[in-house]
Chains A and B, each alone.
Chain A
Amino acid sequence: MRSGVAIFPGSNCDRDIIVALKKVTKKIPLKLWHKDKEFPNLDLIVIPGGFSFGDYLRCGALAARSPIIENIKNHVSRGGALLGICNGFQILIEAGILPGSLIRNKNLLFTCRETTLEIQKTIKSPFTEGFELGCHLKIPVAHNEGNYFAPKSLLDQLSSEGRIAFKYIEEKDVNSDIDYNPNGSCDDIAGILSKNGRVLGMMPHPERAINSLHGGTDGLKFLTKCIENIVG
């Protein structure tokens, strides 16, 4: 299992995901720099969260035009797995690797808290196949522009093609005034897949839930299953 983490100026979750990947794969992931035009073939590339290029112009817009992106696209066309977390998800959308857009949170607040995700019925994908349908994961979010927006035709297409990986869900036994959907995303979408299921973009941060001191380890569970299925 060879993994790599693509780092841009302003990425700030790169070290966290490196720690998480190291914990799961027992190997140190390769650090890739945004200017890298060449790197060895990898099984998984992660684009971490942060504020690449200071979120200038639009979140992820400048990173999505970096030299490394061409190579990441080649990695995807070879069938390599690609995971974009938070700002990484915004970069995948700006690069046209995933469809739709991520706009300002509905409540205009930078939202940093735990959310509950429900695994959806999807096409075959290493990112979801390790989980039972409807299984819940508690993973935190931390973002200002995570409100997934797409025209209804695209939402219908994503749903019918089984490309919605997970949705924010209300926990039945919890009485809370806080909206279970942290950003107002269309259809409560928290993460989507590419057509071949090998690319996942998600707003929540699994690398921030890998240690009981984080308040939960569902992120570790999620990453472990993903790695198992990417290799398998």
Chain B
Amino acid sequence: MRVIVNISLKEGVLDPQGQAIQNSLSNLGFNNCNNVRTGKQIILDFQIDDKEQIITETKKMCESLLVNTVIENYDIQLEKET
């Protein structure tokens, strides 16, 4: 089963990359957007199907390595089965 972890910077944490993107967007004439924040996505493929276990394990991964909880938030999504 596939799990998607979305990691974003917490509110109030400076995102110079987001600011640079926003500047470029406004240079291109996109003036309706006044704030850009960047983040990252981590895709995990599990060999098990127990959703509860997958979520518990992913949370542990986030807290111990994937996310710097001082400055980042995360959310975990289970990809819908096809």
Contacts and interface: CB of A to CB of B under 8 A. Distances in A.
Given A61-B65, A65-B65, A106 B70 contact: no
B20 interface: yes
Interface string B60-74: 000011101011000
A104 B17 contact: yes
B16 A57 contact: no
A8 to B, nearest CB: 16
Given A100-B70, A108-B20, A184 B14 contact: yes
A149 interface: yes
B13 interface: yes
B66 A57 contact: yes
Interface of B: 13-14, 16-17, 20, 64-66, 68, 70-71
Nearest to A61: B65
Nearest to A64: B65
A21 B23 CA distance: 45
Name B's interface SS: helix
Nearest to B71: A101
Contacts of A62: 65
Contacts, number: 33
Chain A interface bracket (under 10, 10 to 19, 20 to 34, 35 or more)? 10 to 19
Nearest to B38: A104
Given A57-B65, A61-B65, A65-B65, A108 B16 contact: yes
23 contacts: A58-B68, A61-B65, A62-B65, A65-B65, A94-B68, A99-B70, A100-B70, A101-B68, A101-B70, A101-B71, A103-B13, A103-B14, A103-B71, A105-B16, A108-B16, A108-B17, A108-B20, A147-B14, A149-B13, A149-B14, A149-B71, A150-B70, A184-B16
B80 to A, nearest CB: 27
Contacts of B71: 101, 103, 149
A107 interface: yes
Nearest to A58: B68
B20 A106 contact: no
B14 A106 contact: yes
A94 to B, nearest CB: 7
Contacts of B66: 57
Interface in A195-227: none
